Amino acid sequence: MPVSPIEYRYGRNEIKSIFTDESRLRYMLRVESALAYGEWKNGLIPEKAYRDISDAVSSGRVKISRVNEIEKETKHDVMAMIRALTEQCDTGGAYVHYGVTSNDILDTATALQLKDFYSYLLSDLTALQSALMELVVRHRDTVMVGRTHGQQASPITFGLKMSVYLNEVGRHIERAIETRKRVLVGKILGPVGTGAALGEKALQVQESVMKFLEIGAEDGATQVVDRDRYIEYLQLISNIATSLEKFTTEIRNLQRSEIDEVSEYFDSKSQVGSSSMPSKRNPIESENVCSLARFIRSLVYPEYEAAVTWHERDLTNSALERFTIPYSSVLIDYILVKTTNIFSKLSVNSERMRSTALSNELAMSENIVKLLVTKGMPRQEAHELVRLSAMESMASGKRLSETILGKTEILTPDELRNAIKPEMFIGVAGAICDRSVRSAKEIIKSLEDEVFAR
């Protein structure tokens, strides 16, 4: 009977399949096979033994049911796997797990899991990048009010807002690429990190194993791969989760009834917004992203604690890492895909954006100050004139342009009319959008080149 919602509610099956017990066993067996390869290549075991172990692994003869049966007796998960593998070997049985310790297998298997997950992570990020890029291009010149402190401010474009998000996702892609070399690392150096049981060729064996598995090797290990690597991974995941919460919080705010500038896709034919109020069209997808992002970020804190173990290691990291790495990976993929779907189907009310921008002359106060300065008025004097006019306008209900014209003759009515047009004060928003799109395309191209090179 499932207890965790991740089993029945959240996460894609293709991601969860990386972290199942069955998959974990397959990754561990791959490490055992690679270990035998490395030991054979360096003269520690016969080729026939390696071939035998490799065949037992690749054939699928080692079953999770048998491993679980042995573990009930041994109370040791890795030893159960070792015995189950040994049972399926002939000459190789005498060399299974030779010269290593449990965490050589466990941590190296984790690196293999994360290696597979990184492919999904980068794919998810580039999909979100593409969805945002489309919005940047489509709404490059869609004028809307900016908002600071929850108040209307100088105008921007919706394309500019999306370009900020686009650039942020681009940086996450760069971070993901950069962190792989430090995160995807295994070790084959025994229970205290000396490699003593492997003899003088311990480092060569480790190098052969990791090259075979196409991951990095720990530079200097205790019994475990250094946990600063896992912390960095979870920091990356937390950073991405924070961005997704930021993006979808903005969607939630802009979908508020009194703003009504964007909205999530809503299937009017069948979707229900509220069990009590049939009219509701709530931003539930964005709210779901925000909720899960908060949980994802919480998972980095236990990993900080896991990095602190006694001497060459203890087991205080073990149990919690059964949650931190799988849960964060499954859930970040889930909310990345969901966020991409939100932005791909986003309804943008550009007319509402423009009418809101046109309706509030106060939001153009910065441009009026600028105009007064270009007409010869000192900047501080211009600022005070507009400030006093704005306070009077809000108190009296008069238009800002009306109160300003009553206080100075330096501006003509036509000049002031142009100064309060939002599209006249969006600066280089369009150029920023263009630059952001070019940068995103370069990142996509670099990823394509990397895949091709592999």
In whole angstroms, what is the distance from residue 120 CA to residue 330 CA?
10
Give mean pLDDT, residues 272-300: 90
- Measured over the CA atoms of residue 55, residue 59, residue 60 and residue 63, the dihedral's sign is negative
pLDDT score, position 275? 74
Do residues 213 and 30 touch, judged by C-beta distance below 8 A? yes
Same domain, 342 and 321: yes
DSSP state of 275: S
Nearest Cα neighbor of 242 from 126, 336, 138, 338 is: 336
Residues 295-323 pLDDT 10s: 999 999 999 999 999 999 998 999 999 99
- Among candidates 449, 440, 453, 451, which has minimal Cα distance to 126? 440
Written in H, E and C, the secondary structure of 289-324 is HHHHHHHHHHCHHHHHHHCCCCCCCCCCCHHHHHHH
**Long-range contacts formed by 308-311: CB under 8 A, 24+ apart:** 309/222, 309/224, 311/222
The reply to whether 305 and 322 lie within a common domain is yes
The pTM score is 0.94
Q: d(Cα 66, Cα 82) in Å, to the nearest integer?
A: 11
271, 218: one domain: yes
pLDDT one-digit tens code per residue, 206-230? 999 999 999 999 999 999 999 999 9
Instruction: Please tell me the least confidently modeled range out of 56-60, 246-250, 378-382, 408-412.
Output: 408-412
Same domain (yes/no): 381, 258:
no
pLDDT over 60 at 123, yes or no: yes
85 pLDDT band, cuts 50/70/90, is: very high
Sole residue written with tokens 């945002």:
132
State the CB neighbour count (10 A cutoff) for residue 246.
14
**CB atoms near residue 213 (< 10 Å):** 24
Same domain, 339 and 364: no
pLDDT tens for 229-238 read 999 999 999 9
Task: Please check whether residue 169 is in contact with residue 128, taking contact to mean a CB–CB distance below 8 angstroms.
Answer: yes
Q: Across residues 9-37, what is the average pLDDT?
A: 97
CB-based contact 81:29 (threshold 8 Å): yes
pLDDT at 274: 72
Task: Give catalytic residues, as residue numbers.
Answer: 149, 274
Q: How many domains does the chain have?
A: 3
Q: Look at residues 98, 113, 131 and tell me which one is the last residue of a structural domain.
A: 98
Q: Which residue range is the domain that position 189 belongs to?
A: 101-354
Same domain, 303 and 432: no
- The whole-chain average pLDDT of the chain stands at 94
Q: Give the pLDDT confidence score for residue 272 in this predicted structure.
A: 80
pLDDT digits (tens, 9 = 90+) for 392-449: 999 999 999 999 988 888 989 999 999 999 999 999 999 999 999 999 999 988 888 7
pLDDT band at 249 (very low <50, low <70, confident <90, very high): very high
Residues 78 and 185 both lie in one domain: no
Residue 268 has pLDDT above 80, yes or no: no
**Tokens standing for residue 71:** 């573990």
Last residue in a domain, options 60, 78, 98: 98
Given a cut of 60, whether residue 342 has pLDDT beyond it is yes
Distance separating alpha carbons of residues 271 and 214, to the nearest angstrom: 47
The CATH number of whichever domain residue 92 belongs to comes to 1.10.275.10
Confidence of residue 454 (pLDDT cuts 50, 70, 90): low
Sequence-ordered alpha helix ranges (H) in 153-309: 158-183, 202-213, 228-254, 284-298, 300-306
Give pLDDT, residue 451.
62
Residue 196 has pLDDT above 70, yes or no: yes
The enclosing domain of 121 has a CATH number of 1.20.200.10
349 & 364 share domain = no
Alpha-carbon span 78 to 101, nearest angstrom: 9
Quick: pLDDT tens for 167-178.
999 999 999 999
Q: Which residue in 369, 347, 338, 358 sits closest to 262, CA to CA?
A: 347
Report, in angstroms and rounded to the nearest whole number, the Rg of the chain calculated over CA atoms. Answer: 30
77 and 6 housed in the same domain = yes
CB 426 within 8 Å of CB 143:
yes
Q: Of 307, 323, 354, which marks where a domain is finished?
A: 354
Does 242 lie in the same domain as 93?
no
Q: Are residues 31 and 18 in the same domain?
A: yes
**Average pLDDT in the 18-33 region?**
97
Q: Please answer whether residues 436 and 136 qualify as being in contact, where contact means their C-beta atoms are separated by less than 8 angstroms.
A: yes
pLDDT score at 47: 97
324 and 175 in a common domain: yes
- pLDDT for position 280: 75
Check which CATH number belongs to the domain holding 368 and give it.
Answer: 1.10.40.30
Q: Give yes or no for residue 267 having a pLDDT over 80.
A: no
Q: What DSSP element (H or E) covers 348?
A: strand 347-348
